[in-house]
Structure 1
Amino acid sequence: MSYAELKRELKRGEVHPLYLLYGTEDYLIEDVLEEITASVLDEDEKDFNLSRYDMRETPVDAALDEGETLPFFGERRLVIARNASFLTGQKDTEKIEHDLERLKNYTASPPPETVMIITAPYEKLDERKKVVKQLKSHAAVLQAAPLEGGELAKWIDTYVKEKNIAIAAEARQQLAERFANDLMQLASELDKLCLYAGDDGTITSEAVELLAPKTLEDNVFHLVDLIAKEKVKEALQTMYDLLKQNEEPVKLTALIARQFRMMLQAKELGRRGYSEQKIAGVVKVHPYAVKVARKQSQNFSEKGLQAILKELAVLDETLKTGRMEKELALELFVTQIPHLKKEA
């Protein structure tokens, strides 16, 4: 079930007796938890009928005991079992013993008066485990993966619309580029921008520039983009601006190298037929970052990217050993890029 589908169900008042929420996008998990809680319990019922357990510290039996207990002064009980690492292939370092056979039995026939939510904030579950298969078969399942492309744009539109605010297309694109990796931070930035826009207002590109400034990584993306397009003068100015902000040259070099490395990986894997989503899984980055890297890599051959990465390794060593003044070393690297591309 998708995040949007689950949200629509909850708006209709449809609640399942068992949920499995897993994945690395914490914001989606927390948002759904909050909505389910609001749908199941009134504020004055939470003291009696809301129980929370951390599976890293407590056996799953405790949550199941609570789930099998009738609600007190209310119609339903809500049990939240967090951090169910026993659903993954990870080794349990906490040495907590979980009765997974009992959990399987519970999932086969969950009590109708209880809503049980199991969260597993991990990228993958171990599909070989019977308890995972059982849960996926009987629970309402949300895979909280990072939103991408049109999905992320739609989420931004929906988020601001609920606050009676509109957003300009350019502003939406800027925010998607800057905060695709952190939905929690994106929500925080949108809250700030909505307040700035005022009732029935519109979030503009100018407001984003004013209130949601670029991160260092964003500036490095821009710098590499200028380098890729051989806009040497603009690239040097961007580099000088970063140095004026006291950004460490060694750190800048590492971030530039990471971007060129991602470009090479995206180019190589794309040639093998990998989709952007699959490349993102291999490289361990957000799909949007892969999309940007693939676009930038079109300006280079594979040999050209390999030559630039070798030069970046030399630059890193030069900066760390102090063989040359740091700003001059970075300048030389930026001005060499067009020649490295041609030589390759």
Structure 2
Amino acid sequence: MLIFLYGQDTYRSRDELKKIIEEREKASLNWFNFVRIDAKENELEIFEQIRQIANTVSMFNEQKLIVIESILSAPEEMQKNILDLLRNKNIEKDPNTTIIFWTDEKDAKNEFFEYLKTKAKFQEFKLLEGNQLRKWIRDYINEQKGRVDSSAIEKLIECIGNDLWRMKNEIDKLLNYSNAIKLNDVELLVKPEIDLNIFELIDAMGYKNKAKALKLFNQHLERGADEFYILSMIVYQLRNLLLVKSTPITKLKLHPFVIKKSLQQVRNFTWDELKKIYYQLMTIDLRAKTGKTDINSALELFLTSL
């Protein structure tokens, strides 16, 4: 079986990926063989893993699961080789093998993309808007056994937008404060998405000024800011820079001030630099949330490696 998880809303696509992995592991009565590969880092390993699966017959109905991330970032020749292998071996019909392709690339709708969209179980995760976003917020709070006023939901959207990574962190913080979230709680504890100090930190990163970047980071900590909040704000602005780099200004749904600052900052980064930094930060976020790294140390190391 082939599964293709795609789209800008990486929170929901990551959540779906996690659920699929847990379901496959729980449902497997036999041996469970799980491999996770990042196409940006391990191009040869991808091809070798798929080739081995295609050419190996399991005697014990061993369930195999391969997760391949950012496949559309792999070189075209590598994508072509994998595509040929998938077509020739009909892996999508193998009942004991599941390959999940996960990606957040927005513009790489090439032959590989079209093949997966046709042959795989395809799920696109668009950024939530309007009532869908309101429903997600209310459902998440209900799952945490909390309550929320409609006015508080509107304020959360006003401050955070549709960044579900940050939305989750802010809601968790609010629920720790009160199990019933009201408008006053949001106004007290949630800062709007426009954070001038974050812009200054991004500026320091763009100019490769490690000392200033570290100083600003520590200032945030001294003011009591949560490390995950700082990370979410940096990621938020990097996403804005990627959007400004790739989208006509008239189509951007951002605050005018954010657009103005982003246009100034984006000149200091190449497209590849932005993608690399974004990937590094998402890796820090994932490893920190799974207990594999200390977020404070990881962010300091990241800033010193600029």
TM interval, shorter chain, is: 0.5 to 0.7
Partner of 1:109: 92
Partner of 2:72: 85
Contact 2:69 2:101 in 1 (8 A): yes
3-state secondary structure, aligned to 1:142: strand
TM-score normalised by structure 2 residue count: 0.57
Partner of 1:6: none
3-state secondary structure, aligned to 1:62: helix
Contact 1:66 1:79 in 2 (8 A): no
Question: What's the CA shift string for 1:66-104, capped at 9, x where partnerless?
Answer: 6445679886322100111258xxxx3998984321133
Which protein is bigger by CA-based radius of gyration?
1
Is the alpha carbon distance of 1:177 and 1:46 closer, same or farther for their aligned partners in structure 2, counting shifts above 3 Å? farther
Partner of 1:211: 189
- Specify which of 43, 46, 69 is matched with residue 58 of structure 1: 43
The within-5 A match list for 1:28-177 is 28-42=12-26, 48-56=32-40, 57-59=42-44, 60-65=46-51, 67-68=53-54, 76-86=63-73, 92=75, 98-106=81-89, 109-127=92-110, 129=111, 131-177=112-158
Partner of 1:26: 10
Query: Following the alignment from structure 2 to structure 1, what is the Cα–Cα distance between the partners of residues 109 and 39?
Result: 17
Instruction: Verify: 1:283 aligned to 2:249, yes or no.
Output: yes
User: Gapped runs of 5+ residues in structure 1?
Assistant: 1-16, 219-244, 246-279, 294-308, 310-344
Q: Select the structure with the greater relative contact order (CA < 8 A; seq sep ≥ 6).
A: 2
Is the alpha carbon distance of 1:205 and 1:94 closer, same or farther for their aligned partners in structure 2, counting shifts above 3 Å? farther
Query: Following the alignment from structure 1 to structure 2, what is the Cα–Cα distance between the partners of residues 98 and 134?
Result: 13
Instruction: Verify: 1:193 aligned to 2:178, yes or no.
Output: no
Partner of 2:209: none
3-state secondary structure, aligned to 1:109: helix
Contact 1:76 1:114 in 2 (8 A): yes
Residue type of the partner of 1:62?
E
Query: Following the alignment from structure 1 to structure 2, what is the Cα–Cα distance between the partners of residues 100 and 93?
Result: 10
Residue type of the partner of 2:21?
T
Q: How many residues align?
A: 209
Query: Following the alignment from structure 1 to structure 2, what is the Cα–Cα distance between the partners of residues 71 and 197?
Result: 53
Is the alpha carbon distance of 1:212 and 1:286 closer, same or farther for their aligned partners in structure 2, counting shifts above 3 Å? farther
Shift of 1:189: 0.9
Question: What's the CA shift string for 1:10-31, capped at 9, x where partnerless?
Answer: xxxxxxx321112222212211
Contact 2:149 2:181 in 1 (8 A): yes
Contact 1:146 1:286 in 2 (8 A): no
Query: Following the alignment from structure 2 to structure 1, what is the Cα–Cα distance between the partners of residues 250 and 62?
Result: 44
Shift of 1:62: 2.7
Contact 1:48 1:72 in 2 (8 A): no
Query: Following the alignment from structure 1 to structure 2, what is the Cα–Cα distance between the partners of residues 172 and 114?
Result: 42
Is the alpha carbon distance of 1:70 and 1:195 closer, same or farther for their aligned partners in structure 2, counting shifts above 3 Å? farther
TM-score normalised by structure 1 residue count: 0.51
Query: Following the alignment from structure 1 to structure 2, what is the Cα–Cα distance between the partners of residues 172 and 152?
Result: 9
Q: Identical aligned pairs, as a percentage?
A: 25
Query: Following the alignment from structure 1 to structure 2, what is the Cα–Cα distance between the partners of residues 114 and 187?
Result: 33
Q: CA RMSD in A?
A: 3.8
Residue type of the partner of 2:170?
E
Shift of 1:204: 0.8
Query: Following the alignment from structure 2 to structure 1, what is the Cα–Cα distance between the partners of residues 144 and 125?
Result: 23
Is the alpha carbon distance of 1:134 and 1:216 closer, same or farther for their aligned partners in structure 2, counting shifts above 3 Å? closer
Is the alpha carbon distance of 1:38 and 1:285 closer, same or farther for their aligned partners in structure 2, counting shifts above 3 Å? farther
Is the alpha carbon distance of 1:93 and 1:100 closer, same or farther for their aligned partners in structure 2, counting shifts above 3 Å? closer
3-state secondary structure, aligned to 2:43: coil
Query: Following the alignment from structure 2 to structure 1, what is the Cα–Cα distance between the partners of residues 250 and 173?
Result: 30
The within-5 A match list for 1:256-335 is 282-283=248-249, 287=253, 289=254
Is the alpha carbon distance of 1:210 and 1:75 closer, same or farther for their aligned partners in structure 2, counting shifts above 3 Å? farther
User: Gapped runs of 5+ residues in structure 2?
Assistant: 197-222, 224-245, 261-306
Contact 2:134 2:153 in 1 (8 A): yes
Is the alpha carbon distance of 1:122 and 1:96 closer, same or farther for their aligned partners in structure 2, counting shifts above 3 Å? closer
Question: What's the CA shift string for 1:112-139, capped at 9, x where partnerless?
Answer: 1122110122113324x1x322211121
Residue type of the partner of 1:212?
V
Partner of 1:342: none
Contact 2:7 2:124 in 1 (8 A): yes
Is the alpha carbon distance of 1:284 and 1:152 closer, same or farther for their aligned partners in structure 2, counting shifts above 3 Å? farther
Contact 1:45 1:73 in 2 (8 A): no
Comparing 42-51 with 159-168, greater Cα deviation is found at: 42-51
